[in-house]
Amino acid sequence: MKRLAALLALALPFAATAADYAVQPAASTLGFSDTFQGEAFNGHFGQWTAAISYDPANLAASKFDVEVVLASVKTGDKDRDGALPGTDFFDVAKFPKAHFVSTGFHQNGARVIADGNLTLRGVTKPVSLDVTFKPQGKSATLDVAGTVKRLEFGVGGGDYADTSVIGADVKITAHLQLAPK
């Protein structure tokens, strides 16, 4: 009986951990969409890292930690791509990275929500992201989606604060191909 209790005591810390995954960059994307003068546009970041620990059966042990190199932004428009790293938008000279860290996960019906803090331009605000996790053998795909209000982070303020020109709500999306660590 003492052996069984000792084995259970040793196993319990491992039961509370989620699976750690390595992101496969070539098959993964981190993007966003918004509007400019009423026209939708999409963009993505070419450089970012993500530490993903996830278990759909044990959300309390799951964690996301994502860091984005803001200068790696691309939208396919030369003028916009030149403006976004500047002081009016991301101000990459002063704030080179954005950072999202999950604070918890919860279910809302069939949906899984990752709550966390996003730091952008030196401003930290809570953000919630919808999570879709699809296991594929030992690998998996992870899709996340959410919305941030750009002006809350000082992105495109001042002359660019007019939300009829640049939309206020920026949709964030990511598709991650994951492999076990």
pLDDT per residue as tens, the chain (181 positions): 444 344 434 444 444 578 999 999 999 999 999 999 999 999 999 999 999 999 999 999 999 999 999 999 999 999 999 999 999 999 999 999 999 999 999 999 999 999 999 999 999 999 999 999 999 999 999 999 999 999 999 999 888 999 999 999 999 999 999 999 9
Examine residue 11 and state whether it is found in any structural domain, yes or no.
no
Read off the DSSP letter of residue 62: -
Examine residue 99 and state whether it is found in any structural domain, yes or no.
yes
**Which residues span the domain enclosing 31?**
19-180
What Rg value do the Cα atoms of the chain yield, rounded?
Answer: 19
pTM (2 decimals)? 0.89
Examine residue 120 and state whether it is found in any structural domain, yes or no.
yes
Residue type at position 96: P
- Separation between Cα atoms, residue 119 and residue 96, nearest integer Å: 11
Examine residue 2 and state whether it is found in any structural domain, yes or no.
no
Return the closest-CA partner of residue 27 out of 140, 110, 129, 124.
Answer: 140
Examine residue 72 and state whether it is found in any structural domain, yes or no.
yes
- Separation between Cα atoms, residue 101 and residue 160, nearest integer Å: 28
Instruction: Assign residue 128 the CATH number of its domain.
Output: 2.40.128.110
CA atoms within 13 A on the CB side of 162: 7
Examine residue 166 and state whether it is found in any structural domain, yes or no.
yes
Q: What is the tally of structural domains in the chain?
A: 1
Residue type at position 81: D
Q: Residue 16: its pLDDT value, please?
A: 54
Examine residue 4 and state whether it is found in any structural domain, yes or no.
no
Examine residue 46 and state whether it is found in any structural domain, yes or no.
yes
Q: Which helix (H) or strand (E) holds 24?
A: none
Instruction: Answer yes or no: are the C-beta atoms of 100 and 118 closer than 8 Å.
Output: yes
